[in-house]
Chain A
Amino acid sequence: MSTPPVTPVPGGRVDVLARSAQPRGRRRNDVFRRQQARLGWGLSAPALIVVGAVTIFPICYAVAMSVTNVTATGNGFSLSGFTGSNYSIMFHAAEWRYALFFTVFYTVVTVAVELLLGTAIALVLERLSAGRGWMMALLLIPWSMITVINAELWYYIYNPVYGILDNIFSHIGLGTPVILGTRVPAITALMVADIWKTTPFVAIIVLAGLVMIPRDYYEAAEVDGASGWRIFWRITFPQLRPTIALAVLFRVLQAFGLFDLPFVLTSGGPGYSTQSLAILAYDAMFRDLDFGPGAAVAVSTAFLVVLGCVLFVKVFRAQAGTEA
């Protein structure tokens, strides 16, 4: 006997960027709205000016630096002449190409693993009746930790002299592994530290999505006799998609700016193997005083990550559209 098809879910799609519903009493509503908007802008203007000063100005300044000849002088930066040489230096540098590859690779792997683990944890947490609050509090500890401190803690584990791993390995007679000094283990070590810290974030976002799925769907599916696996793929997962998309967006934005972990754990080594784009930009600017090329790295990184996110949202929407 074949299983009957699972009842299709009505109105199950929530867009990542929520769109307002069509207003009914259009004219009056519009006037009211415009008034409201004006008041809103007025009230938030002071805050927006501050935000503008501390975010938009530096962003514009970085863009300007990336296309001019910048020199640091005793009297501040001097920007002169429009030039493409900063970008040309960047594109020709093998270090930049490697850093780009490393950052993308790192982002894809960590976000994928965090998503898998986070979703699994969320599914368990949702079923947990007693002690869910405690479990969530425990889970939040890694997430609430400052990244640099997280990195320092992992350094205690990876340290080759007094590290915990080193100790365990030598006790069970496996010799002393050179974790942070060999390429593949060093990259893996950074990923593990990142995944440990940010999986709870994904888990909690996914959990929030899970609890919002109406119970009736599951009841209906059970009445229809669907298997657990089928329920997950046909109900839970589609319902979770907007939430997962949100988690992925946040994580990609953050992982792409990878800085603290390699800064503390490997300083980009061995060789260049853990040099991320952010580390490269920092080194170019603040160690070499190459502000122009450094700004070019920073601006292109920002551009790439925005582009990546926009594409992701587009693809996500298109897919959601074909399924509806």
Chain B
Amino acid sequence: MLINAFEKAYPKIHVTLQSAPTDTDTYRASMITTISGGSSSPDVYMGDVIWPAQFGHSGLAVPLSKYLPSSYWSTFAPGLVQGATYNGQVYGAPFFEDQGFLYYRKDLLAKEHLSVPTTWEQLEADAIKIKDAGLTKYGFVWQGDSYEGLTCDFMEYLGSAGGTVLNSSLTKATIDSPAGLQAATFMRSLITSGASPAAVTTFQEGNAMSAFAEGQAAFLRNWDYAWSYSQTKASPSKVVGDVGVAPLPSFPGQPSPGTSNIGGWNLYINPHSKNIAADVTFIKWMTSPAAQTILATQFSEIPTVESVRTSAAVIAKNPVLATVPKTRLIPRPAQTPQYAKVSQAIYTNINSMLSGAVSPSAALSAASSQINSAVSSSGL
């Protein structure tokens, strides 16, 4: 639909849509081999928000800031362009954004006379209360498996506690801090207190989502798609009409709401493309208010352009889009080309910690030393 509209606006440019693997890691592997193999197709590709440093570093994407003026970049919501920048060059044009939200069961909160939790501790207590009342099988479900999604979830607790993963020059790990310990200890306590099931250490989005949509959980941390998934009768959802959405909670004494991890997809240009001028035109159009409005109102994706994010038509579309302007965003430490290893150091150690194999402090010190060896490029 977007492509048809684009071709109508620019009849001389013909766009062919190629499908890609849904698994982001598989997709990245195939893009890396395609581009470094010298293929000129695809000209423009969609890529995860965590790719710019790695792809820019290896010359797998064209620095777009060479072709687009700063007035263009200032149309985006704050933080998004910075996230797509590596070494002073912008490599990806933010296409649609995604972030973590707290989904809750309105009917169950009402039954137990609870308000929407604004602190993590309150969420934990409410989850236990609803579970113990026998209303659901699980309290709070999220993504605890050993994969990228756990890094996203961890970043939210860490950001809420006021911590960071790397120092500002990206040369040293700062994860092993009091804030890191607070985040990790709390995540483990969700499992030991019974607020979250022990099996959450194997949950990716799919498991958490299906548990929530089946009516088995009171709270869910998930991306924006969870709204439409839990509200359409076409998907096997038993909670249509009972779901509310809110910004993520925070820790007491820290700014509220808690931080939501930035996800989403950028548009990149293949350095072998033979039509860079047309590629730039296409990217500009896809990130124009017109296209972004279509994306938001018809596909319920979170737009990246600030004026569209705050427009009344978009906010009226659904509660998720209405919640977006209230949230506080936190990026993953993807400014380093070694991000993939940094993330792995986080999710493997936090995952072991969640399963009870190691203590929170041991997990953080292991993650810290692995991150240090990753950013100094000396580890496997």
Whether A270 and B59, one on each chain, are in contact in the complex, defined by CB atoms closer than 8 angstroms, is no
Q: In the complex, what distance in Å separates the CA atom of A155 from the CA atom of B355? A: 19
Whether B344 and A178, one on each chain, are in contact in the complex, defined by CB atoms closer than 8 angstroms, is no
Whether B378 and A76, one on each chain, are in contact in the complex, defined by CB atoms closer than 8 angstroms, is no
Whether A288 and B341, one on each chain, are in contact in the complex, defined by CB atoms closer than 8 angstroms, is yes
Q: In the complex, what distance in Å separates the CA atom of A215 from the CA atom of B49? A: 69
Smallest CB separation, A23 vs chain B (Å)? 50
Closest to A182 in B: B355
Whether B379 and A287, one on each chain, are in contact in the complex, defined by CB atoms closer than 8 angstroms, is no
Q: In the complex, what distance in Å separates the CA atom of A23 from the CA atom of B233? A: 78
Q: Chain B, interface size: which category?
A: 35 or more
In the bound complex, residues from chain B placing their C-beta under 8 Å from that of A297 are 380
Whether A73 and B340, one on each chain, are in contact in the complex, defined by CB atoms closer than 8 angstroms, is no
Whether B59 and A74, one on each chain, are in contact in the complex, defined by CB atoms closer than 8 angstroms, is yes
Smallest CB separation, B293 vs chain A (Å)? 34
In the bound complex, residues from chain B placing their C-beta under 8 Å from that of A178 are 198-199, 201-202, 355
Known contacts A160-B197, A289-B54; is-contact A95 B207 (Cβ 8 Å):
no
Q: In the complex, what distance in Å separates the CA atom of A270 from the CA atom of B145? A: 8
Q: Does B28 contact A (CB under 8 A)?
A: yes
Q: In the complex, what distance in Å separates the CA atom of A161 from the CA atom of B196? A: 13
Q: Does B271 contact A (CB under 8 A)?
A: yes
**What number of A residues sit within 8 Å (CB to CB) of B?**
42
Q: Does A162 contact B (CB under 8 A)?
A: yes
Smallest CB separation, B64 vs chain A (Å)? 15
Residue of B36, B54, B59, B358 ringed by the most chain A CB atoms within 10 A: B36
The interface bits of chain A over 156-187 (1 if a CB of B lies within 8 angstroms of the residue's CB, else 0) are: 00011110001000000000101111110000
In the bound complex, residues from chain A placing their C-beta under 8 Å from that of B271 are 74
In the bound complex, residues from chain A placing their C-beta under 8 Å from that of B354 are 181, 270
Residues 95 to 113 of chain B near chain A (Cβ within 8 Å): none
The interface bits of chain B over 201-219 (1 if a CB of A lies within 8 angstroms of the residue's CB, else 0) are: 1110001001100101000
Whether A181 and B272, one on each chain, are in contact in the complex, defined by CB atoms closer than 8 angstroms, is no
The interface bits of chain B over 33-46 (1 if a CB of A lies within 8 angstroms of the residue's CB, else 0) are: 10111100000000
Q: Does A290 contact B (CB under 8 A)?
A: yes
Contact of A293 among B203, B357, B380 (CB under 8 A): B380
Contact of B146 among A71, A74, A162, A268 (CB under 8 A): A268
Whether B380 and A95, one on each chain, are in contact in the complex, defined by CB atoms closer than 8 angstroms, is yes
Known contacts A178-B202, A181-B198; is-contact A74 B351 (Cβ 8 Å):
no
Q: Does B312 contact A (CB under 8 A)?
A: no
Contact of A162 among B36, B144, B147, B210 (CB under 8 A): B210
The interface bits of chain B over 124-144 (1 if a CB of A lies within 8 angstroms of the residue's CB, else 0) are: 000000000000000000001
Instruction: Pick 16 A–B contacts, CB within 8 A, sort by A.
Output: A72-B58, A74-B58, A89-B378, A89-B379, A95-B380, A160-B197, A161-B199, A176-B198, A181-B202, A182-B201, A268-B146, A270-B351, A288-B341, A288-B344, A289-B58, A290-B380
